[in-house]
């Protein structure tokens, strides 16, 4: 594809980077394999580890994130189920009718994705993906000019910015989870409450300012009408359908749900399986337990297990029918298949980086050049670099968290601020790490190389804002 010449400097920058990435970027799975070899060689050259030792570290690391990996799959799956409920999908369809041009469409998708991902990143990722595809379909039908790759990037912006210092952020919630590795190993004296991370003024200011800044970036990046490629340039028109008809679940009046496979003459077993009374009672019980937990312990109760528990039962409360919920959950697990496949490979990378000392060397080198004023920016850069190799917020934090928290303590930086600064770096470089984009790519019908040129451009344009915000916003 030839580099386009029209448009502003920002538009031409996005187009040029997109052309390069489209030509050279490998598939996400091959990306993980190539990174494994890079870390393998780096461990030998930098740390002096033997090849056999590095292979052993790789194998041992494969199994170190099974519990955390399951927590991540549940966050994504429960978010997926909620996003695909008919009531939510109809709301998405209404939102897609609001924009009057391509730039408005891109900004709307990006803002919604970032806000919802702050609430729950799995939900934000899927809502962003469904909204991007539906917006692309609506734009095609209405004759609006919108560049579909940038629209998909907008749907991914929650994972590229707000998720990790939001309500389901891995590192902040892990630090507030009883029995976490940092407490057990004596790295910190006790739990770091979410009031010091997610709900701190520092974090909330970053969220608001970040969403506004990114909306402006997306608006400026949107190509001209002549240079925009709509959804039909990437997805066959025969495959364009409303989000309301994607699965075997159909909505009826009042938001109740039935499956297309309901038998005409149901047996007692069928009635039990689809009983909304049974499903509703169980769902309300689970939601009540979660509400009671927050009522008694406050926002400090928020951790990975509580978040998963809450969304698990919110999904059941929406579908009420146990069988319908189970069917939709099966669809959700399919959407996580790429993550399930690749997670052990990235755990293997963690094993090589951690056991060889490579991650500690990198973190200590970067943190050693920081001052109390610049430490948040250095923690952001450190997390961003390591996230290229370990795209697991919590898994990555278990690797470098000790170094980051230790340096913060020596410099007099509040631990909550250190956690948030790290979280910003981890989220930021998701805009070039395709691991968490796998569900979005499947839903939107895109390839990683079609999308990540514009994602990388947004990542670059965010650098000056994040550097200034992390240092200048008071904690």
Chain segment 179-212, per-residue pLDDT in tens: 877 887 778 888 899 999 999 999 999 999 999 9
Q: What percentage of the chain has pLDDT greater than the value 70?
A: 92
Instruction: Quickly list DSSP for 24-54.
Output: H---HHHHHHHHHHHHHHHHHHHH---HHHH
d(C-alpha 24, C-alpha 427), whole Å: 23
Prediction pTM value: 0.79
Residue 148 lies in domain: 9-243+269-472
Q: Which of 201, 240, 213, 104 is nearest to 157 (CA)?
A: 213
Higher pLDDT residue, 119 or 66?
Answer: 119
Is residue 163 very low, low, confident or very high in pLDDT (cuts 50, 70, 90)?
very high
- Helices 276-297 and 322-335 cross at an angle (nearest 10°) of 70
- Whether 261 is in a domain gets the answer no
Reported as half-sphere exposure (CB side, CA atoms, 13 A), residue 206 has a value of 36
- Helices 375-389 and 448-472 cross at an angle (nearest 10°) of 160
Q: What is the pLDDT of residue 213?
A: 98
Instruction: Quickly list DSSP for 99-161.
Output: -SSHHHHHHHHHHHHHHHHHH-HHHHHHHHHHHHHHHHHHHHHHT----HHHHHHHHHHIIII
- Whether 336 is in a domain gets the answer yes
Q: What is the pLDDT of residue 117?
A: 94
Q: Is the pLDDT at 240 greater than 60, yes or no?
A: yes
Q: Is the pLDDT at 407 greater than 50, yes or no?
A: yes
Q: What is the pLDDT of residue 214?
A: 97
pLDDT digits (tens, 9 = 90+) for 135-156: 998 899 888 999 999 999 999 9
- Helices 322-335 and 66-83 cross at an angle (nearest 10°) of 120
Q: What is the pLDDT of residue 6?
A: 64
Q: Which of 118, 120, 121, 146 is nearest to 133 (CA)?
A: 146
- Whether 376 is in a domain gets the answer yes
Average pLDDT over the chain reads 85
Q: Is the pLDDT at 301 greater than 80, yes or no?
A: no
Is residue 1 very low, low, confident or very high in pLDDT (cuts 50, 70, 90)?
very low
- What total of structural domains would you count in the chain? 1
- Whether 248 is in a domain gets the answer no
- Whether 258 is in a domain gets the answer no
- Whether 150 is in a domain gets the answer yes
Q: Is the pLDDT at 262 greater than 70, yes or no?
A: no
- Whether 278 is in a domain gets the answer yes
Q: Which of 271, 250, 254 is nearest to 323 (CA)?
A: 271
If you average pLDDT over residues 348-357, what whole number do you get?
Answer: 88
Q: What is the pLDDT of residue 444?
A: 87
Q: What is the pLDDT of residue 257?
A: 43
Q: What percentage of the chain has pLDDT greater than the value 90?
A: 37
Higher pLDDT residue, 364 or 43?
Answer: 43
Q: What is the pLDDT of residue 250?
A: 36
- Whether 4 is in a domain gets the answer no
């Amino acid at each position: 594809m030839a580099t386009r010449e029209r448009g502003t400097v920002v538009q031409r920058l996005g187009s040029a980077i997109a052309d390069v990435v489209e030509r050279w970027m490998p598939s996400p799975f091959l990306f993980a394999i190539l990174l494994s070899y890079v870390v393998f060689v780096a461990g030998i050259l930098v740390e002096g580890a033997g090849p056999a030792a590095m292979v052993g570290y790789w194998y041992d690391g494969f199994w170190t994130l099974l519990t955390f990996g399951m927590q991540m799959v549940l966050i994504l799956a429960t978010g997926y189920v909620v996003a695909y409920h008919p009531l939510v999908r109809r709301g998405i369809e209404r939102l897609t009718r609001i924009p009057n041009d391509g730039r408005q469409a891109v900004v709307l998708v990006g803002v919604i994705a970032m806000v919802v991902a702050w609430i729950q990143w799995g939900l934000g990722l899927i809502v962003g993906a469904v909204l991007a595809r539906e917006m692309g379909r609506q734009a095609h039908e209405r004759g609006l000019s919108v560049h579909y790759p940038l629209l998909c990037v907008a749907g991914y912006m929650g994972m590229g910015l707000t998720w990790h210092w939001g309500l389901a952020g891995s590192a902040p919630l892990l630090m507030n989870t009883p029995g976490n590795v940092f407490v057990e190993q004596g790295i910190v004296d006790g739990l770091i409450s979410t009031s010091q991370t997610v709900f701190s003024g520092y974090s909330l200011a970053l969220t608001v300012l970040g969403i506004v800044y990114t909306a402006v970036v997306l608006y400026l990046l949107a190509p001209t009408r002549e240079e925009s490629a709509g959804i039909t340039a990437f997805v066959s028109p025969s495959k364009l359908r409303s989000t309301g008809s994607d699965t075997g679940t159909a909505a009826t009046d009042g938001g109740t749900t039935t499956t297309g496979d309901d038998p005409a003459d149901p047996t007692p077993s069928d009635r039990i399986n689809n009983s909304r009374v049974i499903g509703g009672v169980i769902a309300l019980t689970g939601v009540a337990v979660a509400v009671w937990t927050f009522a008694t312990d406050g926002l400090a109760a928020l951790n990975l297990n509580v978040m998963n528990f809450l969304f698990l039962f919110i999904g059941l409360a929406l579908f009420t029918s146990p069988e319908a919920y189970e069917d939709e959950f099966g669809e959700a697990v399919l959407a996580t298949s790429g993550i399930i496949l690749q997670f052990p490979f990235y755990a293997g990378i963690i094993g090589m980086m951690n056991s060889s000392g490579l991650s500690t060397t990198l973190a200590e080198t970067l943190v050693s050049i920081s001052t109390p004023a610049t430490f948040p920016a250095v923690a952001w850069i450190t997390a961003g670099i390591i996230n290229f190799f370990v795209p697991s917020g919590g898994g990555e934090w278990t690797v470098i968290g000790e170094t980051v928290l230790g340096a913060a303590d020596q410099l007099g930086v509040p631990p909550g601020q250190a956690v948030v600064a790290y979280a910003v770096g981890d989220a930021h470089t998701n805009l070039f790490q395709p691991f968490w984009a796998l569900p979005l790519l499947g839903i939107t019908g895109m390839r990683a190389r079609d999308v990540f040129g514009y994602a990388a451009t947004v990542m670059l344009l965010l650098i000056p804002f994040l550097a200034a915000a992390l240092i200048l916003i008071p904690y």
